[in-house]
Amino acid sequence: MRLKQEYFFVSAGIQSIIRTYKKLRLPMASLAEKVAIHINDTHPALCVPELMRILLDEEGMDWDPAWDVTVKVLSYTNHTIMSEALESWPVDMISTLLPRIFQIICEIDHRYAEKMSHLYDQAITERTRIIENGNVKMAHLAIIGSHSINGVAKLHTNILKEKVLHDFFLIFPSRFNNKTNGITHRRWLLLSNEPLRSLIDSKIGKDWETKPTDLKMLEAFRDDERTLMNLAEIKWTNKQRFADHIKKTMGLTIRTDAIFDVQIKRFHAYKRQLLNLLHILSLYFKLKDDPHADVYPRVFIFGGKAAPSYTYAKEIIKLINAAADLINHDQAIEDKLKVVFVENYGVSLAERIIPAADVSEQISLASKEASGTSNMKFMLNGAVTLATLDGANVEIRDRVGEENIVLFGLTDKDVYQYYSDRSYHSYDYYKNNPLLHRVLDALIDGTIPGVQAEGRDIFDSLIKYGDEYFVLRDFEDYALAQRRVDQLYREPLKWHKMALINIANAGVFSSDYTVLRYASDIWDVYSKTRFF
Ligand SMILES: *Cc1c(COP(=O)(O)O)cnc(C)c1O
């Protein structure tokens, strides 16, 4: 059904485009002068054979000019390096459901292999072919059929070039380019954070609303105590508003003088919500051992959904909820620690939560998060980012400087080094770190009620099955980074100065600029629109 759906939308879209183009009475060979079609992720990769089908079968073109037009019209964005997410379809399924499309895919594959066999060695040609042992690789189809292939953050594009798509980079170096993702500052500031919008208007005028890089002018107020205290008040107002919402919807009381520490995103092992939870459990035990331990009050906020079939992600959700139940109802903790898991996370909730956040959790295993965009939304709303050097976090660091972001953990290079020398042994971290040992045991010894099976599965994923996402490896460094957050928050002027510098440097991440760069570098939109 998914394959039918993908083909349905691709075919309807391209037929509509061709019908519109034909009204101009221009030759089909000049299609690329007026039309750009973007393959956004692998899901519409059938654009390649479908456009060829229409040019060949319905417009009567020969193969070579049709292929020339197709490659000029199409471009492709890669959104992830996670191999599970790269689509491939069984040859049997495509040939049965879409026989003509399958014929064309075979012809593209055959001609590609034939051409490359004269230019490169056998191995690289075989590794980059579209059809490989009975499957059609949609990413390969999209790359071979497009004049542009882009990643969504500088780090991600470099990993595509050097690792994941290295063979294609050797063959088509000029097709590769980067387009760092962006966010719309209209939704994520103007509409969702009215108090902050007014403050900024009062300080630098309204021009930044249509030219978001002008937010940079806020930096003139970096040492202005009044402005910093205005920022503090606005954050408090937004935290109060969110606390009221939580009281009303969940019946849970959270204190607004606590640090609001937020991780909201889809649930996935690589995003490491588990790392966050293990640290929360370590704080819980610290306070259980010594109720007067020097821990600044925190509210940990989680939100997110798991894909319907993703059992492990659902187990993490259940574990966080069980831990929240335990911690929130433990009188000994008073209200130094609260864990909130918001139900049914989506954009509307994000618009309430992000303006209220003090800390933005961006803790994916380095190399796995292609870009991330909630990192940008939080920054724009004056949260301090706690992050690994992954995706667009790297570019956020470059903009705000090391002193205005809290970094920890392995780098992408460290991770690839571990892959090549196979030297990571998660059990050593369990064995040698007593705090980590205690936290992990809590998953299986009944400390957290009602999660016997889930606790065991998660424990085993870390200890028995090698901890694929280096959670235990990064635990200690993460806890230290969280300690730095705790200390920084105790100095309000320093903290709100960090917040101000984050807001002032978030303008470059407006999607207005991202769209502009796609339009000029990839779609060549200005010359295409002139004659319409
Ligand atoms: C921005 C956004 C995302 C993306 O979040 P990441 O942390 O970058 O993965 C996901 N869901 C919603 C509702 C969002 O608004």
173 CA to centre of ligand 1 in angstroms? 31
Does CATH number 3.40.50.2000 belong to domain 2-179?
A: yes
Ligand 1 atom showing the smallest separation from residue 376 Cα: 8
Give residue for tokens 């991780």.
Answer: 263
Q: How confident is the model at residue 532 (pLDDT cuts 50, 70, 90)?
A: very low
347 CA to centre of ligand 1 in angstroms? 8
Find the catalytic residue in 38, 216, 241, 266.
Answer: 266
Q: What is the mean pLDDT of residues 431-450?
A: 98
Q: Is the CB of 265 under 6 A from ligand 1?
A: yes
- Ligand 1, pocket-test mutation among 265, 270, 375, 511, most atoms within 8 A of CB: 265
CB burial of 211-226 (b: ≥16 within 10 Å; e: otherwise) equals ebbbbbbbeebeeeee
Domain boundaries, the chain: 2-179, 185-514
DSSP states of 446-457: SSSTT-HHHHHH
The DSSP letter of residue 93 is: H
Q: What is the mean pLDDT of residues 482-500?
A: 98
Q: At what angle do helices 194-204 and 225-250 cross, to 10 degrees?
A: 170
Q: Which CATH number fits domain 185-514: 3.40.50.300, 3.30.1360.230, 3.40.50.2000, 3.30.420.40?
A: 3.40.50.2000
Active site residue 377: yes
pLDDT, tens digit (0-9, with 9 covering 90-100), for 16-27 = 999 999 999 999
Active site residue 161: no
Predicted confidence (pLDDT) at residue 10 exceeds the cutoff of 60? yes
What is the predicted pLDDT for the residue at 529?
66
Ligand 1 atom showing the smallest separation from residue 377 Cα: 1
CA dihedral 87, 90, 95, 96 (to 10 degrees): -110
pLDDT, tens digit (0-9, with 9 covering 90-100), for 345-386 = 999 999 999 999 999 999 999 999 999 999 999 999 999 999
Q: How confident is the model at residue 528 (pLDDT cuts 50, 70, 90)?
A: confident
Q: How far apart are CA 455 and CA 448, in angstroms?
A: 9
Q: Whose CA is nearest to atom 1 of ligand 1?
A: 374
Q: Is the CB of 99 under 6 A from ligand 1?
A: no
Task: Give the chain's mean pLDDT.
Answer: 97
Active site residue 272: no
pLDDT, tens digit (0-9, with 9 covering 90-100), for 275-304 = 999 999 999 999 999 999 999 999 999 999
- Ligand 1, pocket-test mutation among 374, 375, 390, most atoms within 8 A of CB: 374
Q: Is the CB of 346 under 6 A from ligand 1?
A: yes
Predicted confidence (pLDDT) at residue 531 exceeds the cutoff of 80? no
374 CA to centre of ligand 1 in angstroms? 5
DSSP states of 381-447: TTPEEEE-S-TTHHHHHHHH-GGGSEE-S--HHHHHHHHHHT---HHHHHHH-HHHHHHHHTTTSSS
What is the predicted pLDDT for the residue at 79?
98
Q: Is the CB of 347 under 6 A from ligand 1?
A: yes
Active site residue 266: yes
Ligand 1 atom showing the smallest separation from residue 350 Cα: 15
249 CA to centre of ligand 1 in angstroms? 22
Active site residue 245: no
Q: How far apart are CA 324 and CA 298, in angstroms?
A: 13
- Ligand 1, pocket-test mutation among 373, 375, 511, most atoms within 8 A of CB: 373
Beta strands at 88-90 and 135-137: parallel, antiparallel or unpaired: antiparallel
Ligand 1 atom showing the smallest separation from residue 391 Cα: 8
Ligand 1 atom showing the smallest separation from residue 271 Cα: 9
Predicted confidence (pLDDT) at residue 337 exceeds the cutoff of 70? yes
40 CA to centre of ligand 1 in angstroms? 17
Q: What is the mean pLDDT of residues 36-46?
A: 98
| 176-178 β-sheet, strand order | 37-40, 74-77, 149-151, 176-178
Residues 287, 332 contacting (CB under 8 angstroms)? yes
What is the predicted pLDDT for the residue at 85?
82
265 CA to centre of ligand 1 in angstroms? 5
Whether 2-179 and 185-514 share one fold: the answer is: yes
pLDDT, tens digit (0-9, with 9 covering 90-100), for 386-436 = 999 999 999 999 999 999 999 999 999 999 999 999 999 999 999 999 999
- Ligand 1, pocket-test mutation among 79, 183, 192, 264, most atoms within 8 A of CB: 264
Q: What is the mean pLDDT of residues 176-191?
A: 98
378 CA to centre of ligand 1 in angstroms? 11
64 CA to centre of ligand 1 in angstroms? 42
371 CA to centre of ligand 1 in angstroms? 11
What is the predicted pLDDT for the residue at 530?
57
Predicted confidence (pLDDT) at residue 310 exceeds the cutoff of 80? yes
Q: Whose CA is nearest to atom 10 of ligand 1?
A: 265
Ligand 1 atom showing the smallest separation from residue 183 Cα: 1
Q: Whose CA is nearest to atom 14 of ligand 1?
A: 347
Q: Whose CA is nearest to atom 11 of ligand 1?
A: 265
Query: What would the two tokens of residue 278 be?
Result: 């293990």
Active site residue 247: no
Q: How many CB atoms lie within 10 A of CB 463?
A: 18
Ligand 1 atom showing the smallest separation from residue 371 Cα: 8
239 CA to centre of ligand 1 in angstroms? 20
What is the predicted pLDDT for the residue at 86?
87
Residues 31, 65 contacting (CB under 8 angstroms)? no
